[in-house]
Amino acid sequence: NAGVTQTPKFRVLKTGQSMTLLCAQDMNHEYMYWYRQDPGMGLRLIHYSVGEGTTAKGEVPDGYNVSRLKKQNFLLGLESAAPSQTSVYFCASSGRTGLGAFFGQGTRLTVV
Amino acid sequence: GENVEQHPSTLSVQEGDSAVIKCTYSDSASNYFPWYKQELGKRPQLIIDIRSNVGEKKDQRIAVTLNKTAKHFSLHITETQPEDSAVYFCAASPYDYKLSFGAGTTVTVRA
């Protein structure tokens, strides 16, 4: 049982480049999330999804887009990367059983 | 939206002593309050949670208390051990999803 898996684990981008982060969960969870973690700021919600085909904005959505075409996958896109998007990105998922959110291993993104 | 404040930001304790982390939240509709532990370079992992119909919950050396009237909740770690050194995050939500996190507390247990 893999839980929540993110790819890639590390990435370096140049300013203006684009990329997609992939999150996959095998727990049949309804809800999926993308958070960014910056020093001293905790985990801030970028976008989330309450089900296949649905997405919604979180606290810090600007500069990011998401898609959830399949229940098990949640993609985070950066169309034109900026140095301010240098961060550690975590995907998470949770189900209706209310047992809390399970996190992926994180993606360390550096934009130069 | 929900705003969660967490204190202190850093906490150093002697091994064997207790550690207490406090969080306040703004949305009176919040009814789910989990705590996560994140070791260096690892993912956050759920260690304990509490719902608004319960005032206290214990799991071995950790416990969480909730005061809905004052809108604050706390994590208590007793008999701290070196492996308790980590960053701890509180969170709150009025649903079972869309958690809002505090900024985190770095706990260091001194041997």
Chain segment B62-71, per-residue pLDDT in tens: 999 999 999 9
With cut-offs at 50, 70 and 90, classify the pLDDT of residue A98.
low
Buried b (16+ CB within 10 A) or exposed e, A19-30: bebebbbeeebb
Residue A1 has pLDDT above 70, yes or no: no
- What was the pLDDT predicted at A29? 94
Residue B103 is nearest to which of A30, A40, A103, comparing CB atoms?
A40
- The answer to whether the CB atoms of A50 and B97 lie below 8 A apart is yes
Give B51's strand partners: B32
Model confidence pLDDT, tens digit, residues A14-66: 999 999 999 999 999 999 999 999 988 889 999 999 999 999 999 999 999 99
Q: Is A69 helix (H, G, I), strand (E, B) or coil?
A: coil
The two counts, helices (H) then strands (E), for chain A are 0, 11
State how far residue A22 is from chain B, nearest Cα, in angstroms: 16
Rounded to an integer, what distance in angstroms lies between the CA atom of residue B15 and that of residue B80?
5
Q: Is B110 on the interface with A (CB under 8 A)?
A: no
Q: What is the pLDDT of residues B26-35, one digit of tens each?
A: 999 999 999 9
